[in-house]
Amino acid sequence: MAMFDADASHALGSPQIAGTWVNPKGWAKKMVGGVAGREVAGAMGQIAAEAAAKRGSQPSPETPNFGKIGFLAVSDSEVALVKGKQGAFKSKLTDEVLARNPRTDVASAELGSGKLALPLTITFNSGETWRFDIPRAAKKTADHVVSALGG
């Protein structure tokens, strides 16, 4: 099983047709800021860089809170955000579904471009928007999610 392969079918209660690991919007910027701060000015630089990144990259208030890593899964009938946890060598799924919406409620799904992470935006007919960062290594699985959602 590759690093980004996971199956949330058990948590969904139906077969998963696409899925990808996600990080909170601004995650990549925060990680780069922390590393740059450490290199430039030690611990104080890291604290300042992390604070600046946090202020400038807050996730959409509509995006469910899932911590540092989650898994966005698509079944025939719905899109769901499943809580993930970081293991020693790879990320692991839990059975905790944090949010779910019918696929028929998805107005658009778009995967942008980026150097470290790719922005994924899912907009629902209600106007609610979920925004995530996708690790570059998960681009292929994120493309499958967008395609499954009609994006």
Residues 17 and 87 grouped into a single domain? yes
Average the pLDDT over 54-59 and give the result: 47
Residues 15 and 73 grouped into a single domain? yes
Q: Tens digits of per-residue pLDDT, 124-140?
A: 999 999 999 999 889 99
The answer to the question of residue 53 being in a domain is yes
Domain boundaries, position 111: 9-24+69-148
Asked if 25 and 131 touch (Cβ cutoff 8 Å), the reply is: yes
Asked if 28 and 133 touch (Cβ cutoff 8 Å), the reply is: yes
Paired strand residues for 23 = 133
* Structural domains counted in the chain: 2
Q: Tens digits of per-residue pLDDT, 72-121?
A: 999 999 999 999 998 778 889 999 999 999 999 999 999 999 888 999 99
Residue 112 buriedness (CB in 10 A; 0-12 / 13-18 / 19+): exposed
The CATH number of whichever domain residue 101 belongs to comes to: 2.30.29.30
Residues 54 and 81 grouped into a single domain? no
